[in-house]
Structure 1
Amino acid sequence: MLDGAKVIISVALNGGMQQDRDGAVVPKQPEEIGEAAARCHEAGAAMVHVHARGPDGKNSGDPAIYAEIIRQIRKRSPILVQTTNGIGVRRDPATGLYIWPTDTERLGLLEIEPQQDLFGIAGGSADFHNPEGGYPTETPYVNSPELLKRTIQAVYAKGSALEYEIVEASSLHRLMRYANEGLFDKDRDNVWLLHGGGFGATPPVARNIIFNIDEGLRMFPRAIWGVTATGRDMFRVVTLGLAMGCDLVRVGFEDGVHLPDGSVARDNSEMVQAAANIAAIFGLAPASVEEARARFRLAA
């Protein structure tokens, strides 16, 4: 848990597939992402989660674009930067089917310079389906043992923190098996679990998310844990997590564009402010960048 009545607000600014819609303006180019991150920091976010887009606005795994995004963010604010490890998909021009990046492409994002502050990886494979985030067609999202193990080793060797995205309890048991094999210490206090609902076949319902939270804390009792969800369920799940004492909530255009009242946010900072307003109901204030850095056990 964070010291004091604080919660870390994370904002996923853009995703790999989300597009401008209904008045929501998704930042795509490095300078736009840097400006959006600064506005979110002012609204209370301590960290941003980013995907790269090419000049055409389409999803990209180019490490050079990620490096420029990090530079543009740091020019404008001290907010912590987390890059995706999923990268996202491309469409095969011949078939129209999704093509996922290779493990080699994804592992390349571990060696960006300047280095990101924080890292993330899906804890398991799943049938990915997120119409609110630009993925209207169900597609298998594979996270191989080799990818996960190499990412875990590399991130902890850097002295950083790794977010495990958890959409179902099987991912927790997979991680516990790796811990029992000696890959990492299950009792380290910056094991970081992000419980999500609405991604693929996992419903964003309380009983499912609560079970995953309980399983996570049973296996990793000192973990940092947070919540997120897709579309109009995002703030319902944020409220659930805050009521249960989470360390972190994630909002942002990657997974949806609607505010708690159903209206469309025009900027990610509006979603950060909405999360801060809900947190205040529970007597919680947004954690500062420095407080988040300390909780993630990052070097100063």
Structure 2
Amino acid sequence: MLQVCLNGARKREECRSLPVSPSELAAEAVRAVAAGAEDIHLHPKDAEGLDSLEPQVVAQAVTAVRRAVPRGVRIGVTTGAWAVPDPAERAALARAWSVLPDHASVNWHEDGAEQVAEALLERGVGVEAGIYSGTEAARRFRASPFTGRVLRVLAEVTDTKAATADSTALALVEELGPVRSAPVLLHGEDGGAWPVLRVAARLGLDTRVGLEDVLVLPDGSVAADNGALVRAARRLLVVEEE
């Protein structure tokens, strides 16, 4: 499965084509799905362009994208602590969402991850367990009662060096071995994004690409939009799987 991550916590200053508003997210989602994305991850943003978990902001973003893409394409959002540091408040906001995404990511290195995950599951929202390399997330998740309750594991390689990201990815997958009861989506970021995508293809794992993770194509040129990144990923996946 290839997921598109439309925007992330980035700001427009980093990327002129970054989708921020609900209408921009919808347009980018359409392009990405047409290019071959099968699932969508996005960060709803407020009027200042900052990540938000507020019910109205989430509702507007999810509704716009859901109306734009074909039925059956799942849509997920973030619950990152950078948006709302207090886990109790993050859980309360999730319980107050009026429009529900299909899934939401919960970063297991963040305090209160299980509290947020429980709130999402109570609402029927699938949980993507974010397991960052270089953190205690894998250890915490292995000891968690949620290991068998999540939709998927997001194995997130934070090593941005092209020369070492692939080995970091392999080490993270090995560390997750005992708890791989759910599908694993392996991805990298910035300089590590394309090397890690190739590792995911070779291992037969789900993966993702989008302006959240990388702003350039495999040849180093600036990506015009999420659709361009998805098309490049599809080409690489075909090559690596042959």
TM-score tier after normalising by the smaller chain length: 0.7 to 0.9
State the identity %.
Answer: 23
| Structure 1 match to 2:107 | 122
What's the secondary structure of 2:221's corresponding residue?
A: coil
The amino acid across from 2:132 in the alignment is V
| Structure 2 match to 1:106 | 90
Out of 193, 201, 206, the position equivalent to 2:153 is: 193
**Given the superposition, is the C-alpha separation of residues 46 and 244 from structure 1 closer, same or farther in structure 2, using an over 3 Å criterion?**
same
The amino acid across from 2:61 in the alignment is I
The amino acid across from 2:156 in the alignment is G
- Aligned pairs for 1:69-108 (under 5 A) are 69-77=61-69, 78=71, 79-86=73-80, 88-89=82-83, 101-107=85-91, 108=93
Once the 2 structures are TM-superposed, how far is the Cα of residue 216 of structure 1 from its aligned partner? Answer: 1.1
Flag the structure with larger Rg. 1
Q: Is the 8 A contact 2:8 2:43 kept in 1?
A: yes
Once the 2 structures are TM-superposed, how far is the Cα of residue 250 of structure 1 from its aligned partner? Answer: 1.5
Point out the structure with the larger helix share.
2
Cα-to-partner distance string for 1:163-194 (whole Å, 9 max, x where unaligned): 11112363122112123xxxx3x456x55222
Q: Is the 8 A contact 1:167 1:199 kept in 2?
A: no
Out of 44, 48, 58, the position equivalent to 1:52 is: 44
Q: Is the 8 A contact 1:197 1:204 kept in 2?
A: no
Distance in 2 (alpha carbons) for counterparts of 1:28 and 1:229 = 22
Distance in 1 (alpha carbons) for counterparts of 2:49 and 2:127 = 27
Q: Is the 8 A contact 1:204 1:237 kept in 2?
A: no
What is the count of residue pairs matched by the alignment? 237
| Structure 2 match to 1:228 | 187
Q: Is the 8 A contact 1:232 1:259 kept in 2?
A: no
Out of 145, 167, 174, the position equivalent to 1:207 is: 167
TM-score by length of 2: 0.87
Out of 43, 49, 56, the position equivalent to 1:64 is: 56
What's the secondary structure of 1:195's corresponding residue?
A: strand
**Given the superposition, is the C-alpha separation of residues 224 and 110 from structure 1 closer, same or farther in structure 2, using an over 3 Å criterion?**
farther
| Structure 2 match to 1:296 | none
What's the secondary structure of 2:40's corresponding residue?
A: strand
What's the secondary structure of 1:178's corresponding residue?
A: coil
Out of 190, 196, 200, the position equivalent to 1:241 is: 200
Point out the structure with the larger strand share.
1
What's the secondary structure of 2:47's corresponding residue?
A: coil
Distance in 1 (alpha carbons) for counterparts of 2:121 and 2:94 = 15
| Structure 2 match to 1:33 | 25
Pair 1:13-2:13 in alignment: no
Distance in 2 (alpha carbons) for counterparts of 1:221 and 1:166 = 12
The amino acid across from 1:49 in the alignment is H
Higher RCO (Cα < 8 Å, 6 or more apart): 1
| Structure 1 match to 2:144 | 178
